């Protein structure tokens, strides 16, 4: 009788263990998809410019301009700043130009001028 009871308990444990394993398991499916994209070559051109004029509390006037352009020949950027004293007796000008070609060559040119009246 003990054999039948142990066999029954073992069978019950196996069925319960399987049932518990089935009820507590979760199916997880992970799918990954990767795509490598090659950017299209740049076409066309782009240009932008900005000008700003400020006068500080002492009356010193500053004019600042910036420009940027890019096309198949390369990229050009420039900035200019002109500062004039309130009485107009002195004017300082700073100008910088930068250029980069498609081959990676770059150049920078700067000029500073002070004029007294």
pLDDT for position 37: 54
Q: What is the rounded distance in angstroms from the CA atom of residue 46 to the CA atom of residue 99?
A: 14
Of 69, 65, 116, nearest in space to 92 by CA: 116
Q: Evaluate if pTM is beyond 0.85.
A: no
Q: What is the rounded distance in angstroms from the CA atom of residue 99 to the CA atom of residue 14?
A: 79
Q: What is the pLDDT of residues 69-93, one digit of tens each?
A: 999 889 999 999 999 999 999 999 9
Sheet containing 106-116: order of strands: 46-55, 61-71, 74-84, 90-100, 106-116
Of the listed ranges 30-44, 74-88, 101-115, the least confidently predicted one is: 30-44
pLDDT, mean of residues 13-17: 50
In this predicted structure, the answer to whether residue 1 has a pLDDT above a threshold of 70 is no
Q: What is the rounded distance in angstroms from the CA atom of residue 42 to the CA atom of residue 72?
A: 8
Q: What is the rounded distance in angstroms from the CA atom of residue 79 to the CA atom of residue 108?
A: 11
Bridge-based pairing of strands 46-55 and 61-71 is antiparallel
């Amino acid at each position: 009788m003990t054999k039948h009871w142990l066999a029954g308990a073992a069978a019950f444990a196996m069925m319960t263990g399987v049932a518990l394993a089935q009820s507590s398991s979760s199916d997880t499916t992970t799918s990954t998809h990767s795509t490598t994209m090659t950017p299209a070559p740049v076409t066309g051109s782009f240009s932008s410019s900005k000008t700003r004029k400020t006068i500080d509390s002492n009356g010193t006037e500053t004019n600042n301009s910036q420009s940027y352009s890019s096309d198949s020949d390369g990229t050009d950027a420039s900035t200019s700043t002109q500062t004039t004293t309130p009485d107009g007796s002195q004017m300082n000008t700073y100008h910088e130009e930068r250029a980069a070609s498609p081959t990676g060559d770059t150049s920078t040119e700067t000029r500073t001028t002070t004029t007294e009246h």
